[in-house]
Amino acid sequence: MIRLEHVQKTYRTDRIETVALTDIDLDVEKGAFLSIMGPSGCGKSTLLNLMGLLDRPSEGTVRLDGEAVASWEDKRLARLRNQRIGFIFQSFHLIPDLQVVDNVEIPLLYRSSSAGERRRTALAAIERVGLGSRAHHFPSQLSGGQQQRVAVARAIVGRPDLLLADEPTGNLDSHMGDEIMDLLEELNQEHGTAVVMVTHDERLAGRTQRTVRLFDGRQVA
Amino acid sequence: MLTNYLKLALKVLARRPFFTFVSLFGISFTLAVLVTATAVLDHAFGPLAPEVHRERTLFLDYLILEGERSQRSGSPGWVFLERYVRDLPGVEEMSVYSEPRRVFAYQTGEKSGLQLKRTDAAYWRILAFDFLEGGPLAEADVDGGAPVAVINETTRDRLFPDGTALDREVLVEGQAFRVVGVVADVSQLRTEPYADLWVPLTATKTSQWMEEFHGDLHAMLLAESREAFGPLRAELAARLAAADVPQPERFDRMLAYALEPFEIASREIVGSDDDGRPATRELQALLVGALLLFLLLPSVNLINVNTSRILERAPEIGVRKAFGASCHDLLGQFLLENLVLTLVGGALGLLLSVFAVEAVAATGWIRYADLQVNLRVFAWGVCFMVLFALLSGLYPAWRMARLDPADILRGRSL
Ligand SMILES: Nc1ncnc2c1ncn2[C@@H]1O[C@H](COP(=O)(O)OP(=O)(O)OP(=O)(O)O)[C@@H](O)[C@H]1O
Ligand SMILES: [Mg+2]
């Protein structure tokens, strides 16, 4: 589905040039469950951003369903992200001023659907992550694990076929981390949603189909 | 979508009460000043009673005699007006009346300062005064110099506190005038109809004023329509160009113009060109400039406040972008937030304007001012504010929309 070919990412600031990724070849198939591991600063987030069409590679090609995305304009990329990709972040990134249900609705705002339909879909997603009774709470009224579940609901509300999770359990204790992991596994198995997860936890990585290891921007396994 | 944005907008505003207060204060204060200032302007220049025909009325209140070395300027006198201004083409009615003069009336043992104007009968036909008692000065009164007077409401209440004033006498500078009419007060800003006491032009002790070239008179010309202004002014210019200038050893030309009130204000406030023509353009530019500057201040303030809110909301931008918001969507969202702020500010501004206008009216700086919050002016003010909300929101929104989501969402950069 998403395929990276000889991808290189270089950050240029005034004088310093940082090579964040070198010569990455990676294919994420429909229904795959991948984990990405590596020490801090090795380029994991960068890789995820490239797969999420949030960033463009300096060299190499990113293909979506076989088509190179390089020449696509931002608007088209935004629409693709909206329809096909869901994101989960280490620090949740919920909007503190919005209730759970409004947070979960966000991806649907950028589609054409009625308010009632959006609300129903959002509530179903919240139900799906087991927070049905918290739909009208604010993020600050929830525990870290619950907040991350809201983030999962938000990521899946639009029924994407690719979930990108950047250290989704990084800020959670191992028990809550396991819960999130269970959720991701279920989604992967029940709906065939492809999942790519960055993690520092060997145990969690062990539960995925395949682990990609990065070191200093290079793919070592 | 809209409700979602609106909800958020209100939340965001509530979350930073201080910033919100500063912004709202800027907006509402600006609007209030704008509305108050325009209420005064409207009051001075709008077609209000008694000047119901103001849009087709011209005034001649200034005459310049100019020579190599000397110049004499001021209100024209009877001779000039009769010789050069009387019977201009396209004039339906011409009135000659004096400038107001402060006099004292002695009544019930008290001395009251009053503004007195001498008028002809046409004055009362052009201006639609609101008569509370009696009627205007009649043609016969003016022809015969009858000692009669029209007074305004305030003067009646001061001089005759016990009720009607009709047929009673006002003693002014040793002359007794019989009251024939009482009119509603007219604001001081309506310089031509304004006075406390009106008597016949001819009710003077001597007839010396009838021989004056410069004097204390004004002419009011009610044209058939605005289209008549051009030919009327052209004829006046032609008459003055062909005229024999008095005291030719001192003066070689004579300048006078039939002007609209705004032109007169321009001459008084800004000045006039070499030919004595009022600097209307300059006054307009001055007013527009002041307006823009005045509207710019809260906008700059808004830009500042908005920009400082960007960083705080960077994660939100990142999330929205990741989930499919285009720059367009974000721009729209942020402009809408700004609009909400502006409209709330506008509503407060309206309230504030009502108080401000009443406060100005209550100070008595402008005698007999009946100031009104002009909703048309207010609507214009709101339009301007909306425009500036868009302008002031655009830059921060643009910066916001351009933030790189990849950087924001990386997690560590926060
Ligand atoms: N905008 C940027 N400008 C310059 N260098 C950057 C930028 N973003 C990332 N980098 C650099 O690229 C490299 C990879 O960063 P990245 O965030 O992908 O690492 P990571 O593997 O996700 O690390 P962590 O485990 O700490 O999240 C790092 O050396 C980082 O300093
Ligand atoms: Mg990272």
pTM across the whole model: 0.71
- Amino acid B414: pLDDT: 38
Average pLDDT score over chain B = 88
B313, B409, B414: which to substitute to probe chain A, counting the most A Cβ within 10 Å?
Answer: B409
- Amino acid B1: pLDDT: 66
Stretch among A85-89, B12-16, B91-95, B285-289 having the lowest mean pLDDT = B12-16
**What residues contact residue A72 under an 8 Å CB cut-off, 6+ apart?**
A80
More reliable by pLDDT, B408 or B116: B116
Contacts of A163 in chain B (CB under 8 A): none
- Amino acid B398: pLDDT: 81
Q: Is A107 in contact with B7 (Cβ distance < 8 A)?
A: no
CB B105 within 8 A of CB B173: no
- Amino acid B368: pLDDT: 77
**What residues contact residue B189 under an 8 Å CB cut-off, 6+ apart?**
B40, B43, B44, B366, B369
> Nearest C-alpha to atom 24 of ligand 1 is from which residue?
A40
Give the position of tokens 């030309």.
Answer: B253
Measured in angstroms, the CA of B341 and the nearest CA of chain A are apart by 17
Stretch among A143-152, B40-49, B64-73, B87-96 having the lowest mean pLDDT = B40-49
- Under DSSP, the state recorded for B228 is G
Give yes or no for A92 touching B (CB within 8 A).
no
- Under DSSP, the state recorded for A97 is T
**What residues contact residue A210 under an 8 Å CB cut-off, 6+ apart?**
A32, A33, A34, A35
Beta strands in B110-190 (DSSP E): 110-119, 131-134, 148-152, 169-172, 175-183
Res. B201: pLDDT tops 90? yes
Rounded distance between C-alpha atoms, residue A77 and residue B324, angstroms? 8
Question: How far, CA to CA in Å, does B283 sit from each of B30, B190, B275, B279, B377?
Answer: 21, 19, 17, 7, 19
- Phi and psi dihedrals of B250, rounded to 5? -105, -40
Give yes or no for A81 touching B (CB within 8 A).
yes
Rounded distance between C-alpha atoms, residue B301 and residue B294, angstroms? 12
For the segment B57-73, the average pLDDT, to the nearest whole number, is 94
**What residues contact residue B125 under an 8 Å CB cut-off, 6+ apart?**
B93, B95
Res. A131: pLDDT tops 90? yes
Helix (H) or strand (E) holding B284: helix B280-312
The full DSSP string for B337-375 is HHHHHHHHHHHHHHHHHHHHHHHHHHHTSSTT------H
Give the position of tokens 């007999």.
Answer: B368
For the segment B69-98, the average pLDDT, to the nearest whole number, is 96
Sequence ranges of the domains in chain B? 2-46+282-409, 62-258
| Ligand 2 centre distance from Cα of residue B414 (Å) | 12
Render pLDDT for A134-187 as a digit per residue (tens, 0 to 9): 999 999 999 999 999 999 999 999 999 999 999 999 888 989 899 999 999 999
Q: Which two tokens stand for residue A115?
A: 């308010």
- Amino acid B346: pLDDT: 83
Render pLDDT for B202-251 as a digit per residue (tens, 0 to 9): 999 899 999 999 999 999 999 999 999 999 999 999 999 999 999 999 99
- Amino acid B38: pLDDT: 80
Q: Which two tokens stand for residue B257?
A: 């113009």
For the segment B128-156, the average pLDDT, to the nearest whole number, is 95
Ion ligand 2: residue ranges with CB closer than 5 A? A 45
Render pLDDT for B342-374 as a digit per residue (tens, 0 to 9): 888 888 888 888 888 888 888 777 777 777 777
Stretch among A201-210, B279-288, B300-309 having the lowest mean pLDDT = B300-309
Give the position of tokens 């207010």.
Answer: B378
- Amino acid B246: pLDDT: 92
Q: Which atom of ligand 1 lies at the shortest distance from residue A47's CA?
A: 18
Render pLDDT for A23-77 as a digit per residue (tens, 0 to 9): 999 999 999 999 999 999 999 999 999 999 999 999 999 999 999 998 899 889 9
- Amino acid B413: pLDDT: 42
More reliable by pLDDT, A104 or B313: A104
**CA torsion through residues B183, B186, B192, B198, sign:** positive
ipTM tops the 0.85 cut: yes
Average pLDDT score over chain A = 93
Q: Provide the H-helix boundaries in B46-168.
A: 78-80, 122-126, 139-144, 153-159
Res. B412: pLDDT tops 60? no
Helix axes B375-402, B280-312, angle to 10 degrees: 40
Give the position of tokens 């040039």.
Answer: A17
Give the position of tokens 């269970």.
Answer: A182
Provide long-range contacts, Cβ within 8 A and 24+ apart, for B38-41.
B38/B374, B38/B377, B38/B380, B38/B381, B39/B353, B39/B357, B39/B360, B39/B371, B39/B372, B39/B373, B39/B374, B39/B377, B40/B189, B40/B360, B40/B366, B40/B369, B40/B371
- Under DSSP, the state recorded for A128 is H
Beta bridge partners of B74: B63
Pick from A54, A93, A105: which is nearest to B406 by CB? Answer: A54
| Ligand 2 centre distance from Cα of residue A43 (Å) | 7
Question: If you count DSSP H runs as helices and E runs as strands, how many of each does chain B have, helices first?
Answer: 13, 13
Rounded distance between C-alpha atoms, residue A190 and residue A109, angstroms? 26
Cis peptide before B405 (omega within 30 of 0): no
Pick from A54, A79, A166: which is nearest to B405 by CB? Answer: A54
Q: Which two tokens stand for residue B122?
A: 């046409």
